[in-house]
Amino acid sequence: MPLIGLEPKPGDLIAFIGIEDPYDHWGVYVGDDYVVHIQARKSLDEICKIDKHIIFRDRAKVEFGKLEKVAGERYYLVNNTNDIFMTPYDAEEIVRRAKSLVGKKFGYSMIGKNCEHFVNYVRYEEEFSKQSLRGNLERSQEWECYQDGGHGRSQTCVDCGEETIG
């Protein structure tokens, strides 16, 4: 699908907008018509429920892909509107940060660890998602079913019994 607005430059955030999708997909433009983005892998054996939220354990992978292929049937546009409120890294550092994460796997949640959280972390080192709030999704406590980091809070997953770190 076509680009809406300005041509992307390295370090720009790209929003992929589907006509019937309730949420936008996000990526970081790294130049030469490529983006870095996270892609959720949904598998029933990898789902945990914590506080009524669904968390996909280690089910998001950071990928490097052609802009048009990632866009698929969605329109896309440069969306750096958070620059009004936050200071981004310079373009070279944003690209370096994005590329350094390619191939890594993360816990994924539509509420607290989605593709918009990822791109904002890469550009500003702050994880947040306006569309999670826009969708009236509750942002109480988020917990990942992986044990390699987080903020030191822990709880037990009600489905798999694994201790989680948020």
Given the residues 37, 53, 117, 145, select the one marked as catalytic. 37
In the DSSP assignment, the letter for residue 146 is -
**Could you give the angle at the alpha carbon of 132 between the alpha carbons of 127 and 136, nearest 5°?**
145
Let me know if 53 is a catalytic residue. no
Given the residues 48, 115, 145, 157, select the one marked as catalytic. 115
CATH code for the domain in which residue 93 is found = 3.90.1720.10
Let me know if 25 is a catalytic residue. yes
How many structural domains is the chain composed of?
A: 1
**Please, are residues 29 and 9 in contact by the beta-carbon 8 Å criterion?**
yes
pTM of the model: 0.73
How far is the C-alpha of 154 from the C-alpha of 165, rounded, in Å? Answer: 4
Q: Give the pLDDT confidence of 34-49 residue by residue, as tens digits.
A: 999 998 765 544 455 4
Domain that holds residue 93: 13-139
Write out the two tokens for 85.
């409120």
Closest to 65 (Cα-Cα) out of 38, 91, 89, 92: 38
Is residue 27 included in any domain, yes or no?
yes
Q: What crossing angle do the helices spanning 91-100 and 115-124 adopt, rounded to 10°?
A: 130
Is residue 41 included in any domain, yes or no?
yes
Q: Give the pLDDT confidence of 51-77 residue by residue, as tens digits.
A: 444 555 557 889 999 999 999 999 999
Let me know if 37 is a catalytic residue. yes
